[in-house]
Chains A and B, each alone.
Chain A
Amino acid sequence: MSLFERQGGEQERYLQANNRKLNTMFGYPLIPQISSLAWYTTVIPLMVVLSITAVKDAIDDMERHQNDNQVNNRSVMVLMNGRIKEDKWMNIQVGDILKLRNNQPVTADILLLSSSEPYSLTYIETAELDGETNLKVKHALPVTSNLEDNLELLSAFDGKVTCESPNNKLDKFTGILTYKGKNYILDHEKLLLRGCIIRNTDWCFGLVIYTGPDTKLMQNCGKTTFKRTHLDHLLNILVVWIFLFLGGMCFILAIGHGIWENKKGYYFQNYLPWKEYVPSSAVSAIPIFWSYFIILNTMVPISLYVSVEIIRLGNSCYINWDRKMFYAPHNSPAHARTTTLNEELGQVKYVFSDKTGTLTQNIMVFNKCSINGIVYGRVYDKKGMKVEVPEETEKVDFSYNKLADPKFSFYDETLVEAVKKGDHWVHLFFLSLSLCHTVMSEEKVEGNLVYQAQSPDEGALVTAARNFGFVFHYRTSETIAVVEMGETKVYQLLAILDFSNVRKRMSVIVRTPENRVMLFCKGADTILCQLLHPSCISLRDVTMEHLDDFAIEGLRTLMVAYRELDNSFFQAWSKKHNEACLSLENREDKISNVYEEIEKDLMLLGATAIEDKLQDGVPETVATLNKAQIKMWILTGDKQETAMNIAYACNIFEEEMDGIFIVEGKNDEVVLQELRSARDKMKPESLLESDPINIYLTTKPQMLRIPEEVPNGNYGLIINGYSLAYALEGNLELELLRTACMCKGVIWCRMTPLQKAQVVELVKRYKKVVTLAIGDGANDVSMIKAAHIGVGIHGQEGTQAMLNSDYAFSQFRYLQRLLLVHGRWSYNRMCKFLSYFFYKNFAFTLVHFWYAFFNGFSAQTVYDTWFITFYNLVYTSLPVLGLSLFDQDVNETWSLHFPELYKPGQHNLYFNKKEFVKCLVHGIYSSFVLFFIPMGTIYNSVRIDGKDISDYQSFSLIVQTSLLFVVTMQIALETTYWTMINHIFTWGSLIFYFCILFFLYSDDLCLMFPSVFQYLGVARNTLILPQMWLSIVLSMVLCILPVIGYQFLKPLFWPVNVDKIMDRIHYWMNPPVLPPTQTKLKHASSHRHSAYAFSHVWGFGALITSGKTLNAKRPSAKVRRSQQKEAIDLLSNG
């Protein structure tokens, strides 16, 4: 029943699969015939691994459970048998009537029946649902709002709701309420969704429609696919390899055993008779195969997966703890929501970024305007030249206006003068801005207005009008109150023609106090131009010029126009409008047709220009990522021009690029042509049939991986969403991808959320590289889920993206830290961990293989069983954890300063199959040394007192001590960053080994359990001998010096780029100096691409036109009643 239930299932299944494998592996030792190890050797590690896994899962589950419990046991008021009773959330059922109070969360998806507010309006905050912090308003049907809080009436309420089946559309709901024989249409305006919080409403009653998993909130959580990293896949392959290798070895040893039993064992039966069930040597080889399988299974370390999880968890914590990724204004630290993807952060090759809210702040600032052909808002210096707004420029003084917003700043005095002079057009312009919107106002303190705007554009415009003296004060159902230059005027609101993405404009129709009917319209210039009255063509041309200027500066523009309406014309139109509103089929089409009838012959007032601010540090971040060879693609739903602007502003496109291609074909042939010609310019030979990639593509048509292609310069590519659709339909995927991947920057505009995901999938499928998607809005969710790594930004557009992301933070610029610092470290650490982990287990296990040749292939272990039990768990676990939690080859400053250091991760150079084979060879070599040096040492050797020491137990002790010294030295060699913790872990483990050794081999313990602890006194007798230590030193030197030599010679013989950078870093580090400072990037200042945009979806228009308003406390009771009546009539007619 809770939000937190997702992912659990998948993860558990994954772990279960793992455990099943382990269980089968560790079931064998319990069969006596093949058991070559004491039962505890395998059971103890298994128990520890399982219990760690269990504890981790249990903690997760407990948290989830607590959350569930907390949610399930919250109390809520339920109407039962005419009385209000308190009940738990989990007992709520469909059809219950609930009473909710102010500031209470909504329990389920409920149909609003009535509330304390007039017209049963109910204010809700939807932050948990979509992250928007502004209040929204819901309203009940008039017929149910009459029930008010009359419990008898409510108990007797016997309406029947027919509604659609549960779905995940947050902004859609259709249903019919049948009550007292009448049908009433229900829509999402009447539905309170679970996850909302009731605000500013004393109480409300509602009918439960959807509960639990049927609620829209739960439906929206979606199925999150369990993401696994490339390394996970590689590990699985390697485990299979290891199993094959293991099987091969066991086979060889089993054959060896057969031969030995035949040649020697048969004749040795005087002292060692064959088991009664062994008729021949061949038969005895079969159990030996399995015995060796058990002994050598430490090659597949059971603790591997658990250790990997722990390391990832640790590295995720570092991300959560990073103060440099903490955003103080939001008070939000970075959050690693998924703890299993860390090392992939160090391998990212493609970044897919949303534009709005991700690269930009989505904070709109009213910057300039053009009114009746005059531009305001430009700042000139003393010489009369236009300048950028510098910090020291004086802001315009708005002190004449008591209601002005102090945060608003404007730099052009002339506009204020024009307002003060009473310029008719300027007044009309601002009046239209203060009337034509769907903003709600709140006046908690007298004179301190707070606007709740649905889109930041609108907020900016209304705030501007407010500061210039046209203060939108409050709105009621049918009126809008505006304080015009200190004088309150009430306009009657006749209709709101709402904004939509198709219409790209909105209008209001008001009756002025002078009883004139006026239509005010604002909208995208391309649309509005065509709706203008022919008489203002000249003004239009001037304004269009200004708009072009605005666009060059990267501003978002809107045109403002008005129309005076004939009263009778309006009445006729109003009737049509009502009909359209109440129609059941194609309601939206019909309404927009009606709107078009009235939105024409508009008189142009002017245009506004709003600045869409880039987030801090975006250009620098993009430049850094570029240096790290991370390709950055922008995927936006926005228009081409806007997107291009932003691309230039944040350095994805540069002025000095060799060319920019635009793909905007509307059928696949044109698109193909465009793609080909782009490629022809970038790399002509790639079109020839002799091109190796073309040959490759023709020979291997499926499961391919397109290699990197190098173009002859820096190019940019812009692709439109509709062209993408054609390209995907027309099987131009490969063409598209090859062209796009050759470009330095690619912008995909006009993308639907689904297309964003398609692009990500395309790159994932054919490039086989790690992709990262970053976005902040609900429209980015699909791509965030599709990419290997999804990053959500706490933004203005809500928390949907964040809820579906793997990593979440507040600012785009933290991405470079996430990738170049945390990602790189995580990747390096994980690779070092894996190399070392495999190495230490190979070195440990393969000694048994060599020993087999000297003990008649009898599955005799080299080590004490307790050593086998503790090796992975105790003796070597902490050092390697220390390495993989603390190691840094270079610190964060250098990581960020030399983004080139990121490249090895992208090509997965530090751990791949080749590196694994190296580990294997190294492990084989070490095990060889570790067996034969002690063997040579103890062969027929005796102590100083003449007693022999060539016994099996002493030999075990020497080999295991040498092994521990060797693997400890090896990790000491791998560690480049020795913190105190590393010292404690590494050397402490070695000391701890001796402590445990003396404990396990102590008299008391051994005498207490003679059959379990058989090594009494071995440590004392063996470790005092000089030849033992000489042997240990020899093994150590033989294992370690070649590695040192290799590490020393490798950069000399096969230098890679990274080595040179590391050399430079080390040169600077010793003695420590600061890196040379990076030149600050210049902000590309001149963009020659216009941006006409508008950023919100549906407004509050429908609500307001249907006869409801937000702040209904103003009108008198009389008005209230009449309005109510009117509204009821209106709805009941429908």
Chain B
Amino acid sequence: MTWSATARGAHQPDNTAFTQQRLPAWQPLLSASIALPLFFCAGLAFIGLGLGLFYSSNGIKELEYDYTGNPGTGNCSVCALADQGRAPPIRCSCAWYFSLPELFPGPVYLYYELTNFYQNNRRYGVSRDDSQLSGLPSALRHPANECAPYQRRATGLPIAPCGAIANSLFNDTFSLWHQRRPGEPYVEVPLERTGIAWWTDCHVKFRNPPLVNGSLALAFRGTAPPPNWHRPVYELSPDPNNTGFINQDFVVWMRTAALPTFRKLYARIRQGNYSAGLPRGAYRVNITYNYPVRAFGGHKRIVFSNISWMGGKNPFLGIAYLVVGSLCILMGFVMLVVYIRYQDQNDEEEDEE
């Protein structure tokens, strides 16, 4: 370390704001004049928002029916008894009758709701092959290992679509019938079964494998449907734009739920006379009862609902906003009182000094 050899000041550090830690800066302070108004303003804003949310959520109509069929809960219990076995249940039908005293304003959406169903279980959630579902021919015949034990059939045929999610596809079906006046025959209400999945899912993410000779069935040759399915994937719907991997029921099911209780859209009612909603009258929902849930204590529900500007019925946000808003204001008052008291004390101390 000899410094004598170099010119004076040669090693002097640069005089920049950065090296000298003098960068211009904004130094905000948490003073009472900021903190207290912040609490009050936030509180008021939250209460306002909360009221809006609460009322709009309350304005939404919902009609719900549990058709699980626990003994003594309606005519689905017959079917439910049949579902005790583990094997794919036999077809069974039941119905739910309800009447609307006034118009159920539309558009009306028909959901099915499952409870106690752990679509979010990790082993369940990973049991799928997105490559296969995106229509890659190689993946179609070589399902990913995650799909096990629904990767291949005992015969060695690859399963398409593979995995536990696809295998457990919800397969109850509903049809809605309307009787305008007592004694009149029930008219079937048209249920729109498309447009129920995310556009990105059924148009981008999920794709059928390339057709072979113009036939989807040939494209799926050499694969087997999941064990629980009664028909192959290319026969899910007669509509060629809604069958195979892009069948919307299937796509909706494949978007696994975050919580063990979940609703999935089954159909939209917006055609013909029903575009304004469900007119008053008696209704019957015909249910094909295929899907066993009682084994694991699950419930199946059917739900009619309309929506508002912020989606479906969910009182949570409204209530939470109201509670938080009130807490903010309460907290603001506490802080104000404390601040004034200590301010006085400090002033006194300073006066004494």
Residues of A within 8 A of B (CB): 36, 127-128, 131, 133, 264-265, 267-268, 270-273, 275-276, 317-318, 320-323, 326, 328, 330-333, 794, 799, 802, 825, 854-856, 858-861, 886, 888, 892, 933, 935-944, 946-956, 976-982, 1003, 1006-1007, 1010-1011, 1014, 1016-1017, 1020-1021, 1025-1027, 1030-1031, 1034, 1037-1038, 1041, 1044-1045, 1047-1049, 1052-1053, 1066, 1069-1070
Q: Are A944 and B295 in contact (CB under 8 A)?
A: no
A858, A951, A956, A1066: the one within 8 Å of B257 (CB): A951
Q: Are B258 and A1049 in contact (CB under 8 A)?
A: no
Complex interface: chain B residues within 8 A of A1047 (CB) = 30
Q: Are B121 and A952 in contact (CB under 8 A)?
A: no
Q: How far is the CB of A595 from chain B (nearest CB, A)?
A: 37
Docked Cα-Cα span, A767 to B259, in Å, equals: 55
Complex interface: chain B residues within 8 A of A949 (CB) = 311
Q: Are A1026 and B310 in contact (CB under 8 A)?
A: yes
Given A860-B120, A979-B25, A943-B311 contact (CB < 8 Å): yes
A321, A859, A955, A1048: the one within 8 Å of B35 (CB): A1048
Q: How far is the CB of B51 from chain A (nearest CB, A)?
A: 13
Given A948-B264, A951-B255, A892-B297 contact (CB < 8 Å): no
Q: Are B307 and A942 in contact (CB under 8 A)?
A: yes
A275, A1003, A1010: the one within 8 Å of B131 (CB): A1010
Docked Cα-Cα span, A320 to B14, in Å, equals: 10
Docked Cα-Cα span, A746 to B56, in Å, equals: 76
Residue among B32, B144, B201, B205 facing the most chain A CB atoms (10 A cut-off)? B205
Report if B63 contacts A (CB, 8 A): no
Complex interface: chain A residues within 8 A of B124 (CB) = 271-272, 858
Complex interface: chain A residues within 8 A of B295 (CB) = 267-268, 270
Q: Are B9 and A1041 in contact (CB under 8 A)?
A: no
Q: Are A936 and B11 in contact (CB under 8 A)?
A: no
Given A1030-B321, A1052-B338, A950-B311 contact (CB < 8 Å): no
Q: How far is the CB of B179 from chain A (nearest CB, A)?
A: 25
B39, B129, B296: the one within 8 Å of A1041 (CB): B39
Given A331-B6, A331-B10, A948-B264, A1006-B205 contact (CB < 8 Å): yes
Docked Cα-Cα span, A125 to B312, in Å, equals: 88
Q: How far is the CB of B252 from chain A (nearest CB, A)?
A: 8
Given contacts A321-B20, A939-B316, A1017-B204, 5 further A-B contacts (CB under 8 A): A888-B21, A937-B317, A948-B262, A1010-B139, A1045-B335
A956 (CB) vs chain B CBs: closest residue: B258
B2, B133, B260: the one within 8 Å of A1010 (CB): B133
Q: Are B260 and A855 in contact (CB under 8 A)?
A: yes
Q: How many residues of B contact A (CB 8 A)?
A: 105
Q: How far is the CB of A1019 from chain B (nearest CB, A)?
A: 10
Complex interface: chain A residues within 8 A of B296 (CB) = 264, 267-268, 270
Given A940-B263, A1049-B335, A858-B167 contact (CB < 8 Å): no
Q: Are B131 and A1011 in contact (CB under 8 A)?
A: yes
**Could you give, for residues 28-47 of chain B, a 1 whenever the CB lies within 8 Å of some chain A CB and a 0 otherwise?**
11111001001100100010
Q: Are B129 and A1011 in contact (CB under 8 A)?
A: yes
Q: Are A330 and B3 in contact (CB under 8 A)?
A: yes
Q: Are A1041 and B328 in contact (CB under 8 A)?
A: yes
Report if B213 contacts A (CB, 8 A): no
Q: Are B263 and A942 in contact (CB under 8 A)?
A: yes
Docked Cα-Cα span, A272 to B125, in Å, equals: 10
Q: How far is the CB of B65 from chain A (nearest CB, A)?
A: 15
Complex interface: chain A residues within 8 A of B134 (CB) = 1007, 1010
Q: How far is the CB of B163 from chain A (nearest CB, A)?
A: 11
Docked Cα-Cα span, A1027 to B342, in Å, equals: 41
Q: How far is the CB of A666 from chain B (nearest CB, A)?
A: 42
Complex interface: chain B residues within 8 A of A271 (CB) = 117, 124, 164, 167-168
Complex interface: chain A residues within 8 A of B11 (CB) = 326, 331-333
Residue among B20, B31, B125, B255 facing the most chain A CB atoms (10 A cut-off)? B255
Complex interface: chain A residues within 8 A of B200 (CB) = 1003, 1016-1017, 1020-1021
Given A948-B111, A1047-B30, A1031-B317 contact (CB < 8 Å): yes
Complex interface: chain B residues within 8 A of A948 (CB) = 111, 252, 255, 257, 262-265
Q: How far is the CB of A125 from chain B (nearest CB, A)?
A: 9
Given A268-B296, A1011-B144, A1017-B201, A944-B309 contact (CB < 8 Å): yes
Report if B1 contacts A (CB, 8 A): yes
Docked Cα-Cα span, A264 to B117, in Å, equals: 10
Q: Are A802 and B1 in contact (CB under 8 A)?
A: yes
Docked Cα-Cα span, A323 to B255, in Å, equals: 61
